[in-house]
Structures are given as structure tokens and as C-alpha cells.
Structure 1
Amino acid sequence: MYLTQSLHRAVRQSPDIPFTAYRARTYTARETYDAVSRIAGGLIGLGVRKDDRVGLLSLNTDRFCQAALATAWADAAIVPLNTRWSVAEHAYALDDADVSVLFLDDAFLPMASALRERTPGLRTIVHCGDQPTPEGLVPLAELLAAEPVEDVHRQGDAMAGVFYTGGTTGVSKGVMLGHRQLFVTALGTLLHTRLPRGGTSILAAPAFHLAGFAFWIVGMMADMTTVPVAMFDPAGVLRTIEEHRAKQTLLVPAMIDAIVSHPDAGSYDLSSLELLAYGASPISETLLTRARAAFPSAQFLQVYGMTELSPSTTLLLDEDHDDPVLRRSVGRAAPYARVRIVDEKGTEVPPGTIGEIVAAGDHVMLGYWKKPAETQEAVRDGWMHTGDVGYMDERGYVYIVDRLKDMIVSGGENVYSTEVENVVAKHPAVAQVAVIGLPDAKWGERVHAMVVLVPGATLTAEELQAFCKQEIAGYKCPRSVESVAQFPMSAAGKVLKRELRAASGAA
């Protein structure tokens, strides 16, 4: 399996069915095939050669999809860039990955000059938007006018792309993923779940992030029309689901919360949605209950993993969500994955014992780009060490209790922030919560809760402690609480705890 294979199948079996639908623009499979083969020819004309890296800085659009397919068609690898990064962060990734050609859409045209200045190896910027092309950039129309070329059918362990991590714990690393890794997860997910076939798939999660990118692949394999949403906004997603009678979408919990909290959510017809996949960060039981009520026709699928795992390694199926215990887990190992819980020596621990979650299988990354030492540290004897702390029950369900770096040691006791967050999130005054450890003269670290309150609500540390003591031990309860307007978030929807700690002087 490989990235362009679904397009080849579609053009043979249903050439006139829409392949993408973006705003007022629709491309059939036949039209997409033609555009991709010409863009690939244009890339070759610009000097792109086998195994070169081609950058892609774009919102979710049909052009993003075409550029990604064309890059593989031309025997190169893509480097999707985080749309929330600064110029300096983009320049770092472009330089690190030795990118010589970059696709740039309208939203990022103001960065073009600065990117050129800060990335000496960047020869060509291809403007793939709808605005007039600025001087010095190559219009996409020029590539579309090139002679079409034959697909090289790049596949197997040939690198599909370098996907830079979200940087929640520090400097981003480039994760090398091959076509095999991406399609092992996509095919395994399709086979193991009751995913819909045909119809439309809403690409609402950012496509530069591997969760969104992988979900796009799943949609193509299921013969679905991809409907990209350029930038997330709750009303826009609700409207798109209704207008396109969408069958599936993938969202992170922060997006789900924004959608179900929208004052007009109940006025949209969401009955077409058959699947709502979610992941990237924990979801509270309260939010899950609200989401299932808002999308009563949809099955829910939680995926857990990371970019290095292409990106999923466990799946929590819809029927698992009916069990109040199981829905606190992240599911069981996907068909293509082996999952273990190990101690600090790498030895597997008994069921119910807390340790690090590790995974092995054909979905494990090829490695970190230009970082052999980091690769060797992360992948040991074929096992990817996730850095997540959790345990596995007797039936193989995995429960995450924290990130290794987010564990709090208070008074000599290990406190897992996720466990505390799950309890705090149940308080009626709390809309969102993040728990971190702050330096404390008496306890070493104290448990500190940062909360976004429900409008009009108030909450004291004493009130929160009394509430939490009903469910968890006293040493785990927050000793201090801080109300904030919003949390710093990564583009993947994860709270950036390192920024919270830095703001509190605890980094």
C-alpha cells in the first residue's frame, strides 16, 4: 500500500465521483489524477529528485491533498509544517530537513520573504493559494501546465514524509515514516472497526499533524470524498457536517468541547455522522457524555498513539464506551501492534502494575531525522518507548495515568496529573483543567490545578480539595488552584504544560 494507491483505484472504479470538495471547488477522481500527475511533473521540472524533501505549509485545502500526493508521485517525501509555528520554527524544520521546494498557501504569504532569508537551501516557493502570486514565487498554475508524468509508485519503507513532533516537551524532532508504516495503521483500523464506506469525510483536524493526515488516508481507502475545513471553528464544522451529510470526522477533545458547547449546536442536523474518532489528549467522562448526546447516530472511536507510531497503537471501540470502567482506558492493542507495560529496566510488569507504555510492530517509525542517538534511545530492540505511564488490565485494556515528565513527586509520593485532572474535571465549576507540580519547601512539589471556569462560576482551593477528597487520596488533591482564561495549546489540541510550568516559574 502507498499514498497514491487510493487515487489510482478511484480513477479506475469511479472516475467521476468527487475526490475532494473544498468550499465551492470540487475535483473528481479523474480531475485529481490529472492535477497530481502534472504537479509531479512540475516538481521534477523544478529539480526535485528521488528522496528529496518537499515542504508543505498550508491550511486544510484540496491543494494540500494534491501537493502531498504529487510529492509521492514524483518519488519525493513531504515535510508538512505546523501552521501555528513562527517563522523561526518553520525555518528550523526547513533547514533541518534540507527542503529545497516549498508549497505555500495564501495564509502564509507574508512569511515568504523571511523564510527565504532564513533558509538558504530553499530554492523555490510554489504558491498554492487563490490570491495573486507575489513576485519571486512560482504559481501553482505553472506546475499544473507541466506535462503529466507517470507515478513511480513510491512504497514500502521508502520515506513518505518527515513529520515534526508538536514540541510539547521541547524542540521538535523530525519523525521519518514510510508508506508501509502509514498504511499498516490505516488498513488495520479499517479492518478492526465498523468504519463507514463511501460518502464524505470531514478533514477538520489539521492535516499537517499526523492524526489528521492519517485520517485523510483512512477516508481515501474507504472511497470517501475528502472535505477539508481550512481552519477549525465550531459553527463551521457543524455547518459542514450538515451540508455534506458527512459520515465521519476526527476531532481532538478540545474541538469536541467547543462544538458541543456552541449555543447553536442543537439546531444542526448531525444525524448523518456515523463515526466520530478522537484522540491526541485525554477526554473527561463529562465531555464524552455530552458528545455522545450531541452525536447520537455516531459510533465513537478513541485512538491512542503518537507520531512515532504512525500514529495509533491502541483502539477503544464504540461498544467499549458503554462500560464505565473501560471508557477510562485508551483501548486495546490494534491488530498490527504489540503493547507492553515495562519497568525502568524494560522488563514487562504484571497486569495492574504501573510502568511505561511501549509498542512494537510495523507501525513504528523509521527513526528521527538526523538524530541517531535519539532514535536509539526511543526504539530499543524494536520497542518504541512512548514516555507515557500507564497500566494494563487482565483483558489487555491500557490505562494512561501520566506522561513520565508530568509526574509529580509530592512528599515522596508519586502523583499522576491525569488522575487528578479526571477528578477535577467533574467539578461543576470547571470547564477545563491542567494539573502541574510546583516547587514547595515542605513537600518538594505540590499539586497545582489550573482551571478554566464555567462562565460565572467561582472556585477556591478549599472547595476543590473537599471535592477531590471524595475520590482520591489527600496527598493527590490540589493544594493550590489558579483560574486562567485559556490554556496554551499545541496544534494537536494538547495543553502545553511546559509553558504552564514556565509561566509559574517551575520549568
Structure 2
Amino acid sequence: MSNTDRTFRTYVEENLDALSADPAREALVHQGRRVTAGEFRALVHRLARALSARGVGRADTVTLLSGNLPETLAARYAANLVGARVNHLYNKLSAESQAHIVRDVETRALIVDPRLSERAAEIVELAPVPEVLVLGPAKVGADLLELAAGQSDAPFAGRAEPGDVCTIRHTGGTTGHPKGICTTFEQTRWFHGVLPEQPEFERRQLVCTTLAHAAGLMADSTLQSGGTVVLLDDFDPGTVLATIARERITDMFLMPPLLYQLMDHPDAPDTDTSSLRMLTYGGCQASPARIADAVRAFGPVLLQGYGQNEAGGISVLTQEDHDVDRPDRLRSAGKVLPDVEVAIRDESGRDLPPGEHGEVCVRSAMIMKGYWKQPELTAEVLRDGWLHTGDVGFLDDEGYLTIVDRIKDMIVVVGGHVYTTELEDLLNSHPQVLQSAVFGVRDADRMERVHATVVRRPGSDVDAQQLCEMVRAARGAMYEPARITFVDALPLTDAGKPDKKELRRRAEQEAAAAG
């Protein structure tokens, strides 16, 4: 390793330094268990030595199958400290999909939450791995915590080099060839400076969505700032509200559908949420009407972050920009971050002027290294240093970026394109509608038809005909859904996005049964 490389410090080492500044402070909370900064730091060093003793090292892959435990974060830190790359599985995928990913990333060690040991047994039967290590006693694998207990908690020198792969995150399809997004240790350091600093308060972050997604990155930022991370096993709006009040939560991240559930919960009006300072949302399109409702409910604390695993952070709509009288502003994804370049381009690669719709292309230090073992796909989206995001959007004259749709989600109909998010915004503006999801379904003639799934407000009686009439009057016949179905709640992915694949599957199943 060169002298230059020796001076490099990973995000883990920087966070461990921050934890050592005040070892007695509360760093993590889970189910009443409170872990100090010193205890967490010692656990990371012990786990790193235990992994190293099992032969896990630089350029190996460690896959996590684990819920929101303090030990989950410690295991990720330890794996990165020994120089291994980390892949964190979404827990709600099928065993077959998880096994495919485990095999694809060449997993050296599978680290398992004891609560998921039965699933781990299913996975390793389909995709055997050299090591199964469990964060506690279980019937499958060795107890990693017991192995770590016998190790020293003296500082473990990081072994990663800047260009080594730090994380592999999977998005897109979960069968066949899912896309494994590779981010280096050097790039990962950029991720932690994306959100605006909030120096005026001591951060207490609530994690109520999976640590495998954005909440995990934000937890790293909270720990580095001297704050506390409060972990819930899953999202339940009533539990989240009670935790905000009890733990005096200042920060949290939610996908828009979960944010809507939170403010619509009957306990919301009577819950003390005055401690909130930064309620970050993102990951999928948000409804301006519903975001305005959230501002009224929680105050001027909302912040939208737009980005991709491939691109890192791209833009931010700050708390000050959340003006309930500016639905156009609430519809936007905010202003492009410093040190990030955005260009809106047409199919020929020509840069488009403000106001014109085209593909959002991004260039920054956070751009992924590439897709795991898919050089052709990497070359398709990474061209001349620019990442082609697959999002359709535009920049306005003031520099605000608005995302209109995913290219693959646009519905091609006779007469043009239907942008799903625009139709969702319109449906959500109806006073009796809480949420909607719009998607295309091919008919027997292979023509795409517009379908919408709608969640009504409790006690409302708006029907499909009334909504179609509203759409036809506002946007014309091209946008009118061929079918509207009503549900009590939208199905969500592990990360909290509306699961349009599942909605499309249901619609196709219903069509097949009817035809």
C-alpha cells in the first residue's frame, strides 16, 4: 500500500473517531436497550477481529440478512473496516431472490439476524456460502457475537483502499440479472455530506425503515455528528408517533406513502411532534397536495432529497422551499447540490433549455463505479462521465429540478405519453383521495392502457366514474384511466415505495380471469 493510500480514512474510521470523543453518550437505542458510543465502538473493533480471524478480508463480500439492530450497523462497520464490501439484503424479498443475490455477489460470509435464521437456512440451501455468522445464538451458523467477545477492543486499523468497492446495492429486477450498484470507499465518504448540516440541535434520528436503504446512510451521518440513532424494527404509524414524542426525535426519513400514513393516523393531531427539526422524504414521487398537508401537520421541517444509488445525492428541496402556496415548487425536487452537475438531454444527447422535458443526466464524485459484473449495462448508463438516470425531468429558470417520470414508467398511448406522476398528482388533489398509483397494463392487442389504484379517505364515496370525469375535464381523454380500482392501502416495497410491479400483476391477473 502506498503512502498516499495509508493516509486514506474510510467513513467507518471517521465515525469511530467521532464515537471516541464522548464514549459515555447514548449512541443507539433499540427496544429499550441503550448502547453507548464507547460500547458500540468496542463492538465494531471486536467484530472486525472476529471476521478477520474467520478469514474475511479485503475484497471479500459480506452479505447482511438482518433487521434494524445496533449489531447490524456494527457488523457493517466491521466488515468495511477489514476491507470487505457489504451487500445488505432487503428482508421482504423471496428466498429465491435473496439466494440469487447472495450467489451473484460471491458472498464470503452471510451475517444473520437470529430472528431471520430460518430464512438464512433457506438461502444457504439454495446458495451455499463459506461462512454463516449469526448476531446471537441460533440453529444455523456460528455465533459471531460470542466469537467477538473473546477479541480485543483495541483500535483495528482499516484495510480498505479508496478504490475498493465498499457497498453493493441491488435495485431493479430481483430475478435473472438484478443490478448490483457498486460504490467505492472513496465515493461513500461523499454520501455523508449530502444533506444540509443542522448544527443548532443535537440530532436524535428515528430509523423506522430498513437500514439497507437511505435510513442507514443517514444513521452514519447522525453518529458522526454526535447524535443518537433510535431503531424500530419496522414502520407502524402509531408506534412511530409515540416514539417521536417519547424519545424527542429530531430527524427521520420516510418514503412519501409512509409519510402520508403518519399524518393520517388518528393519533397524529394529539401527538407532540414539536421536537422534529428535519423530516426527510424521497425515494419516489410525492404528491404536492399531500406534502402541503404534511407541512401543515408537522410544521416547516420537511426536506426532500432526490438521488439514486447509481448517482448519490442530486438535489434538495429545503425546509424554506416548502411553501404550501406554491404547488409547483412542492412538485419539484429542489435545487441541484453543490459539486453536482445536471443536464437535461434529448434522445440524441442534446442539452435542452429550461422548461423542456428530457432525461436527467448527472455528473459528480458520487457516481457509482459501475454495475457488478455487468460492463455492458454500465456502459449504457455511464457515458463520458455522465450518468443517464432514466428519469424524465426539467429545470426551470430558477434552477429547480422537477422529475416527471421514470422513462420505463411512462405509458405510451394513442396520441402521446401519459406521465404517471402527473396523473397521480391530479387524482391526489381530489378531496376524497388519500393516495394513488398509476401504471400501464398491456391489453390483448399489446396496447398499453392506463390503470389507477386509489386509496379513498375513510368514509368517502367517490367512484371511478367521478374520478374519470375529473381527469377528462382537467387533462383530456388521453389521461383518462381505462380502469380504476380502490384499495384500503397500496402495497409497498421493502423500502416503502408503491409496489407497481405487484399492482400490475394483480391487474393482469384480474384481466386474465375476466377474459
Matched letter for residue 184 of structure 2: G
Q: Is residue 249 of structure 2 the alignment partner of residue 246 of structure 1?
A: yes
Q: Return the match for 1:303 from 293, 302, 305.
A: 305
Q: Deviations over 1:359-412 (max 9, x none)?
A: 110011011111111111111111111111111111221111111111112222
Matched letter for residue 438 of structure 1: V
The structure-2 alpha-carbon separation of the partners of 1:445 and 1:221, relative to structure 1 and needing over 3 Å to count, comes to same
1:207 matched to which residue of 2?
Answer: 211
Matched letter for residue 84 of structure 1: K
Q: Structure 1 residue 415: deviation in Å?
A: 1.4
Give the CA RMSD over aligned residues.
Answer: 2.3
Using the TM superposition, name which of 375-384 and 168-177 deviates more.
168-177
2:156 matched to which residue of 1?
Answer: 150
1:446 matched to which residue of 2?
Answer: 449
* 1:308-327 superposed matches below 5 A: 308-310=310-312, 312-322=313-323, 323-327=326-330
Q: Is residue 161 of structure 2 the alignment partner of residue 159 of structure 1?
A: no
1:124 matched to which residue of 2?
Answer: 131
Structure 2 unaligned regions, length at least 5: 1-8
Q: Structure 1 residue 342: deviation in Å?
A: 0.6
- What SS does structure 1 have at the residue aligned with 2:259? helix
The structure-2 alpha-carbon separation of the partners of 1:144 and 1:353, relative to structure 1 and needing over 3 Å to count, comes to same
Matched letter for residue 124 of structure 2: R
The structure-2 alpha-carbon separation of the partners of 1:197 and 1:72, relative to structure 1 and needing over 3 Å to count, comes to farther
For residues 198 and 259 of structure 1, the distance between their equivalents in structure 2, rounded to whole angstroms, comes to 23
1:9 matched to which residue of 2?
Answer: 17
2:476 matched to which residue of 1?
Answer: 473
* 1:203-352 superposed matches below 5 A: 203-209=207-213, 211-296=214-299, 298-310=300-312, 312-322=313-323, 323-352=326-355
- What SS does structure 1 have at the residue aligned with 2:391? strand
* 1:11-160 superposed matches below 5 A: 11-120=19-128, 122-129=129-136, 132-134=137-139, 136-148=141-153, 150-152=156-158, 154=160, 156-160=162-166
- What SS does structure 1 have at the residue aligned with 2:320? helix
Q: Deviations over 1:271-309 (max 9, x none)?
A: 11111000011121232122222222x521101111112
Using the TM superposition, name which of 159-168 and 375-384 deviates more.
159-168
Q: Is the 8 A contact 1:253 1:278 kept in 2?
A: yes
TM-score, with structure 2 as normaliser:
0.91
Q: Is residue 183 of structure 2 the alignment partner of residue 183 of structure 1?
A: no
Q: Is the 8 A contact 1:184 1:336 kept in 2?
A: no
Q: Is the 8 A contact 2:415 2:478 kept in 1?
A: no
Q: Is the 8 A contact 1:411 1:443 kept in 2?
A: no
Structure 1 unaligned regions, length at least 5: none
Using the TM superposition, name which of 411-420 and 456-465 deviates more.
456-465
* 1:306-455 superposed matches below 5 A: 306-310=308-312, 312-322=313-323, 323-439=326-442, 444-455=447-458
Q: Is the 8 A contact 2:362 2:387 kept in 1?
A: yes
TM-score, with structure 1 as normaliser:
0.92
- What SS does structure 2 have at the residue aligned with 1:207? coil
Q: Is the 8 A contact 1:54 1:99 kept in 2?
A: yes
For residues 430 and 502 of structure 1, the distance between their equivalents in structure 2, rounded to whole angstroms, comes to 23
Q: Deviations over 1:57-91 (max 9, x none)?
A: 11111011111111111121111111111111111
Q: Is the 8 A contact 1:162 1:175 kept in 2?
A: yes
Q: Is the 8 A contact 2:203 2:222 kept in 1?
A: no
The structure-2 alpha-carbon separation of the partners of 1:241 and 1:461, relative to structure 1 and needing over 3 Å to count, comes to closer
The structure-2 alpha-carbon separation of the partners of 1:195 and 1:257, relative to structure 1 and needing over 3 Å to count, comes to farther
- What SS does structure 2 have at the residue aligned with 1:486? coil
The structure-2 alpha-carbon separation of the partners of 1:35 and 1:159, relative to structure 1 and needing over 3 Å to count, comes to same
For residues 486 and 273 of structure 2, the distance between their equivalents in structure 1, rounded to whole angstroms, comes to 34
For residues 114 and 313 of structure 1, the distance between their equivalents in structure 2, rounded to whole angstroms, comes to 38
Q: Is the 8 A contact 1:104 1:127 kept in 2?
A: yes
The structure-2 alpha-carbon separation of the partners of 1:247 and 1:19, relative to structure 1 and needing over 3 Å to count, comes to same
Q: Structure 1 residue 169: deviation in Å?
A: 10
Using the TM superposition, name which of 433-442 and 175-184 deviates more.
433-442
- What SS does structure 2 have at the residue aligned with 1:182? helix
Matched letter for residue 259 of structure 2: I
Q: Structure 1 residue 250: deviation in Å?
A: 0.8
1:459 matched to which residue of 2?
Answer: 462
